[in-house]
Structures are given as C-alpha cells and as structure tokens.
Amino acid sequence: MEALYVLDFFMNKNFKISDCPEEIRKNLKHGDKIIYRCEDKGNMKDSVGIVVGYPLPIERSAEFVSAMSLEEQQKFCEDQQIALDFFPTFKKKFKEEFPGSKPITARYNPLGDQIYFYFYSEDRYVFGDFVKNLRSMVGKNIFLFQVGARDMMRLDPCAKDYAIGSDCGMQQACLSYGVMPSVEVECVSLQGLDGRDLERLKGRCGKLKCSLMYELEIYQKECKNFPQKGSKIECPSANQNGIVSNFNIMTREVVLKTPEGMILRVPLSAIKPSES
C-alpha cells in the first residue's frame, strides 16, 4: 500500500500514513485535508492534516481516520475565523507581557474546540498566569506554540506578500507543505560563496536562503573531481607549483597560489598532484 504524507495543520509537522485505503488515497489531491490520529505526549489524538502530493523523507507515522469532504473543508476554513477574531487581543497582551516576541497568527481546531496561538522569539518564556488569564478571556482550551524562523514564514498569513520578487526560495520551501530544509554555513563554503556578505545570502526569515540547497547536490558531487583546498599542485604545462586556494566547478578552473605569491587560474585538466 502506497503511503500518504501530510503536514499537520496545527503542529506544523509532517507525518507518514501507511493505512489510508487505496480507493481514498488515489482521489486525494495536494492540499486536501484529512483527519488522522497520532501520538502526542503518550496519548493518541485526532488532528487535521494537509495532504502533500509527493513522498517525503520521514518516518514519523500516524493513522488514517477519514478524508474531509469539500463541504467539511470549507466549514473548517470558515471556522478559522474564530481563532483570528481573538488574535488581535492575544497579540496586544502577549507583546505587553513579552516585548521581544513576534506574535504570528492563530488557528482553531474544531476537533477539540482549541485555539493555537503562534509566536516567534529567540528567547524562552515562563508563561505563568498569562495562559490562565488568556484562557478565561477566550473561553476555550488554548495552546501557545513557539516556532522557528522558517516556520514563522510558513504560518504568517502575509508571507505570500513577502515572497513577491524574492529569490530566497520561500515559494518552494516556507510556503510548501514539505519538510523544511536545514541550510548550514557549509553550503556557503561548498558553493564558493565564502567571500559574500552573509546578510545578502539570507532570506526573508533571517536565515540562510533555502535556494542555497537547490544545487547543493551537484556541488557535492562535482567537488570530488577537484583537488582539496590547501593541497599542493603541479602545472606541467606552465612549469609551476602552487597551493589550491579555490576552484570553480562551472568554469572547471583551479585557483593556485604560487610560492612567489602569484595567483594562477588553471584548467582542471592541466594539473596533477605534486609528488613533493
């Protein structure tokens, strides 16, 4: 049985569902909503998942419960206004209590009559009486959900406006339903971008651009064909030795620094490792 992959609407986590009946799975489209069951802190609970129309590299599993009809999906979307109506109050009070935070949005879970409030912050908070007071005002069970920078862009209702004209990969990553990429500083070095201003390599979320991942696999493969940085190289045609300071997989050139301090750009095909 082919697996079904979903993004949880509230927890922002991906799950793999292996027990969805084939006659239901084949009719589900990317972006459709289903109800599924997963373990949360030792208890099984039902939640709403957004169907991802392609396989994901995850093993976190869940159980299929039912597919939501078009009418149920429409009602679910309309019910989100319940949470959004409370969000301005939450935003005002949360900012007063925790000035360094950024309230993002709110979502309503009709399965448990719960409201999730999302915020971004680099700090950790002790909520104390804040949750108790907010719960008494809202009259429902509430959850405060602290998210990272990339999840912040995924949840922010205005994120699509930020993405206009952006080359940071937001449309393919933050606004997708798949697994968020983890972009490390090593990606910058591997692609020869060490000398660039890091701020210019950051996306709208403030982290390194997801687009740095697009060609990473090619760079990882091609780099194996080049000598390591710092290794000593002979150039038979130029009768020169040098230390590898950099290389360019696009132009197939190796940048050498000679003992005299000269900088040479030599075709990869014209060099060989030095024996000395």
Residue ranges in the chain assigned as alpha helix (H): 22-25, 70-97, 129-138, 149-155, 159-163, 185-190, 216-223
Q: Enter the pTM of the model.
A: 0.72
The pLDDT confidence band at residue 236, using thresholds 50, 70 and 90, is low
Domains 73-147 and 232-273 agree in fold: no
pLDDT at 165: 57
Q: Where are the domains of the chain?
A: 4-68, 73-147, 232-273
CATH topology of domain 232-273: SH3 type barrels. (2.30.30)
Mean pLDDT of 80-104: 94
Q: Is the pLDDT of residue 199 over 90?
A: no
CATH of domain 73-147: 3.30.300
Q: What is the layout of strands, in order, in the sheet containing 253-257?
A: 263-267, 253-257, 240-248, 232-235, 272-273
Comparing 66 with 257, which gets the higher pLDDT? 66
pLDDT tens column, 173-186: 666 777 766 777 77
Token digits of residue 141: 């069970």
d(CA 87, CA 116): 10
What amino acid is encoded at 265 in this protein? Answer: R
d(CA 57, CA 143): 28
pLDDT tens column, 243-271: 888 888 888 888 888 877 888 788 888 77
Token digits of residue 142: 């509430």
